[in-house]
Amino acid sequence: MTPDWLAVDWGTSHLRVWLMGPGGTVLDQRRSDRGMGNLARGQFEPALLALVEDALPAGGPLPVIVCGMAGSRQGWAEAPYATVPCAPPSITAAVAVETADPRLTVFIVPGIKQVAPPDVMRGEETQIAGFLADTPGFDGVLCLPGTHTKWAHISAGEVVSFRTFMTGEVFALLEQASVLRHSVTGGDWVDAAFAAAVEDAISRPATVAAELFSIRAGALLEGTGAGASRARLSGLLIGLELAGARPYWLGQDIRVVGAGGIAGAYHAALSAQGASVATVAGEGMALRGLRAAHDRLREAAQ
Amino acid sequence: MTPDWLAVDWGTSHLRVWLMGPGGTVLDQRRSDRGMGNLARGQFEPALLALVEDALPAGGPLPVIVCGMAGSRQGWAEAPYATVPCAPPSITAAVAVETADPRLTVFIVPGIKQVAPPDVMRGEETQIAGFLADTPGFDGVLCLPGTHTKWAHISAGEVVSFRTFMTGEVFALLEQASVLRHSVTGGDWVDAAFAAAVEDAISRPATVAAELFSIRAGALLEGTGAGASRARLSGLLIGLELAGARPYWLGQDIRVVGAGGIAGAYHAALSAQGASVATVAGEGMALRGLRAAHDRLREAAQ
């Protein structure tokens, strides 16, 4: 069975493709590590073909809808940012990319920028579009945890403002490459250590810089276990983020869009602050947004 | 001319040896990258011999006084920490290490620990001893900038309390290995960008987590230059440190012990806060402390 169109989420470090059938069904999904970060401009089309060529139909060109970093200046083709406040950009704002292979018709959905304070997103806007396709009247705040966690204030179907935190990347660097790596590797996560660290960082954000090395010293002098130390490191960083993101979540209706440990950590930290929070599965949210874009493409074609 | 004794500063990533002559003169100095971090216990003596064997006298054993991470549990031999409040440990607290080569008599000077909040230092206590040998009546605060910056409150010849900040290591990780590397590499340091970032972080430490990614977004959207971006990154991190270290420097007489850009950055940031601060050359401070230890060894021998 050949696909009707391809949905593509192309990030810095990954390429994910869904082969889409009638009615938005997924016939197959494929992924590779050929992310934007290790591709030159001319390598995007071959990287995509390498993943899907066997499934291409013999007939007319196949629509390919792409979101993510493939639309950046260093990507396949630049899709200029939309500017907040705006609805998540859809197919109408997409950039058509000329391909050497006539079997493909490629559209790249742009990201969003904010002028003050300066901020950008590419990929998350499509997750937000997916969320809004399912929950059209939502008025509140989305938290999308990840390497770079995004907080977005949503109202009347638009992204009003947003802010990015490098918490996930800072955690990974400290966990894997800093002096703390000796103290946080191994062991089971300790919820109470995470909760205490979040509270410390929210109530006294200035102390976070000193508390980081105390993790190492605590392991040396008090024998603190690696699981408790890792949870404390995560809690200090997420707590500092929550202190800085307070205008986003305080008194708001919050949805954490994600799954697994990281979404659970944000949910727990927000709940402990008395915030109104629910978690919705992030898996598939980008696909949901790409599907919404394809629906619009079909409508436009009719 | 053969040395009377050897002064050794053995850190995680470096080994530094001074060949000492009569009256504390330096006959020669040598260094290698055979730091504690890449040596197993049995490799310390050979690493030292490889650096100085040609200079060893034929006669009786040569005193070797070592400070730094060589005294850690994973080092040459563990020299158990002294506990604050205490004078910087000197030769009387040193651990004698048995050597296979009879031409050496090795002493390792211990580091200092603090129980609450937990903290440790190894090596900096000898720099502090060197500072106090030159300035015996000092009452105030020492700031020793580095990969792990130490703040120490000194009174009546003792370290009363201290605190470690990983600012240098976090800066290096973000500068070299994070998404910010694209925005902060190259260009000339911009003092005004540093000063503004310090002020932002001190006055609103909670915002630092968000301001980090804004460096990237500012470069993308506003074309902020790499020199200004690097200075801002440094200013945000040093400002967050100063916010956390406020009990150390507020209203105190501060000496920044160091040299070059990093000492200058701390000095400028503290001055801008109206703090009373002077910088003293850090180069040679460890040697000065090791010399003081050797003086005591000689006194004890007489």
SS3 at position B2: coil
Residue A71, domain extent: 5-122
Q: Does A152 score more than 90 pLDDT? A: yes
> Who contacts A147 (Cβ-Cβ below 8 Å, separation ≥6)?
A166, A168, A169, A172
B197: in domain:
yes
Same domain as A101, residue A18: yes
What integer pLDDT is reported at residue B301 of this predicted model?
A: 82
In the predicted model, what is the mean pLDDT of residues A213-233?
Answer: 97
Alpha carbon distances (Å) from A219 to A188, A213, B118: 15, 10, 9
In the predicted model, what is the mean pLDDT of residues B224-247?
Answer: 98
**pLDDT (tens digit, 9 = 90+) per residue, B26-68?**
999 999 999 999 999 999 999 999 999 999 998 879 999 999 9
The tally of domains found in chain B comes to 2
SS3 content of chain A, % helix, strand, coil (to 5): 45, 25, 30
Same domain as B42, residue B109: yes
Contact across the interface for B243 and A206, Cβ inside 8 Å:
yes
**pLDDT (tens digit, 9 = 90+) per residue, B93-151?**
999 999 999 999 999 999 999 999 999 999 999 999 999 999 999 999 999 999 999 99
Same domain as B100, residue B185: no
Q: Are B79 and B94 in contact (CB under 8 A)?
A: yes
User: Predicted confidence band at B200 (pLDDT cuts at 50, 70, 90)?
Assistant: very high
CATH number, domain containing residue A229: 3.30.420.310
What integer pLDDT is reported at residue A99 of this predicted model?
A: 96
A87 DSSP 8-state letter: P
B295: in domain:
no
In the predicted model, what is the mean pLDDT of residues B185-193?
Answer: 97
Same domain as B114, residue B171: no
Q: What is the 3-state secondary structure (H, E, C) of B183-221?
A: HHCCCCCCHHHHHHHHHHHHHCHHHHHHHHHHHHHHHHH
A142: in domain:
no
B296: in domain:
no
Question: Is B173 in the A-facing interface, judged by CB distances under 8 Å?
Answer: yes
A145: in domain:
no
What is the average pLDDT score of chain B?
96
Q: Does B184 score more than 90 pLDDT? A: yes
**The model's pTM:** 0.95
**pLDDT (tens digit, 9 = 90+) per residue, A246-290?**
999 999 999 999 988 999 999 999 999 999 999 999 888 999 999
Partner residue facing A213 (CB), from B165, B177, B180: B165
B143: in domain:
no
User: Predicted confidence band at A60 (pLDDT cuts at 50, 70, 90)?
Assistant: confident
Domain boundary among A89, A122, A155: A122
What integer pLDDT is reported at residue A1 of this predicted model?
A: 83
Q: To the nearest 10°, the Cα dihedral for B264, B140, B233, A261? A: 150
Q: Does B302 score more than 90 pLDDT? A: no
What integer pLDDT is reported at residue B60 of this predicted model?
A: 79
Q: Which two tokens stand for residue B77?
A: 């031999």
Contact across the interface for B178 and A164, Cβ inside 8 Å:
no
A221: in domain:
yes
Same domain as B173, residue B103: no
Kindly report the backbone phi and psi dihedral angles of residue B3, in degrees, each rounded to the nearest multiple of 5, phi listed first: -75, 155
CATH number, domain containing residue B111: 3.30.420.300
Q: Which two tokens stand for residue A116?
A: 């003050």
Contact across the interface for B221 and A120, Cβ inside 8 Å:
yes
What integer pLDDT is reported at residue A213 of this predicted model?
A: 97
How many helices (H) and strands (E) chain B has is answered by: 10, 14
What integer pLDDT is reported at residue B259 of this predicted model?
A: 85
Q: Does B3 score more than 90 pLDDT? A: yes
Helix (H) or strand (E) holding A45, with range, is helix A44-52
Q: Which of residues 99-158 of B touch A (CB under 8 A)?
A: 113-115, 117-120, 148
Distance CA A290, CA A300 (A): 15
Q: Which residue has the higher pLDDT, A60 or B236?
A: B236
B133: in domain:
no
Rounded to a whole number, what is the distance in Å from the CA of A64 to chain B's nearest CA?
A: 27
Q: Are B81 and B69 in contact (CB under 8 A)?
A: no
